[in-house]
């Protein structure tokens, strides 16, 4: 399994393309902007994209979903708790950030609680980690944890937007702290880290334990 990361859009979102070199099956996490950049890589590697996975519904993480879906035919996954956030993201982007994005296609699959799906022939676990938004989730596969805006290297996502809750976010941090400490964390913004490093050094974890 290989991972290609692109930083896309004005807020420098980490978009991840996760793929199998042999089967060429792939899924894309948080295509927030710059669809041409994302799709050029898909074409170069001759990938078959099975799913587009949105860790949450904020505009900077979903802005290129329509273009990527139109080209690849991939199914869109979102947590049920973020459906309103996802649908309202164009209005929020314009009102609070002055950024215009198109409305995005309705999700094909809504995660309701926590679930394991077989994607690119691997078990992909969806862990509900609310706090940054009601339906934020983290994605665990083969020792890697894609955390969206729940956990960053040395910080966490903001909780002052619609549906945000610091209390819920701290519970989510505690939940993912149960994973092995050598679990590699690939966040929605910034550099990668590890669970063990964050437990020891992230100031928000000092409020959890």
Q: What is the pLDDT of residues 125-149, one digit of tens each?
A: 999 999 999 999 999 999 999 999 9
- CA 53 – CA 43 distance, rounded (Å): 19
**Quick check: 100 pLDDT over 90?**
no
| Lowest pLDDT segment from 17-21, 91-95, 140-144, 203-207 | 91-95
CATH of the domain at 95: 3.60.15.10
Domain that holds residue 64: 2-207
- Regarding pTM above 0.95, the answer is yes
In total, how many domains does the chain have? 1
Structural tokens at position 43 = 């074409």
* β-sheet with 2-8: strand ranges across: 2-8, 13-19, 25-29, 48-53, 75-79, 109-111
């Amino acid at each position: 399994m290989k991972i290609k990361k692109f930083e896309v859009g004005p807020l420098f979102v980490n978009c991840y393309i996760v793929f199998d070199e042999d089967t060429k099956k792939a899924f894309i996490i948080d295509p927030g902007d710059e669809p041409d950049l994302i799709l050029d890589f898909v074409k170069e590697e001759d990938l078959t994209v099975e799913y587009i996975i949105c860790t949450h519904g904020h505009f900077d993480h979903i802005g290129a979903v329509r273009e990527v879906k139109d080209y690849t035919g991939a199914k869109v996954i979102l947590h049920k708790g973020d459906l309103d956030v996802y649908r309202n993201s164009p209005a929020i982007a314009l009102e609070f950030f002055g950024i215009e994005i198109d409305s995005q296609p309705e999700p094909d699959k809504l995660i309701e609680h926590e679930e394991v799906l077989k994607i690119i022939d691997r078990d992909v676990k969806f862990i509900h980690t609310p706090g940054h938004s009601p339906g934020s989730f983290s994605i665990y596969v083969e020792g890697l944890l894609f955390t969206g805006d729940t956990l960053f290297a040395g910080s966490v996502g903001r909780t002052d937007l619609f549906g945000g809750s610091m209390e819920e976010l701290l519970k989510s941090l505690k939940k993912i702290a149960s994973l092995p400490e050598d679990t590699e964390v690939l966040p929605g913004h910034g550099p990668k880290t590890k669970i063990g490093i964050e437990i020891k050094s992230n100031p928000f974890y000092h409020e959890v334990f």
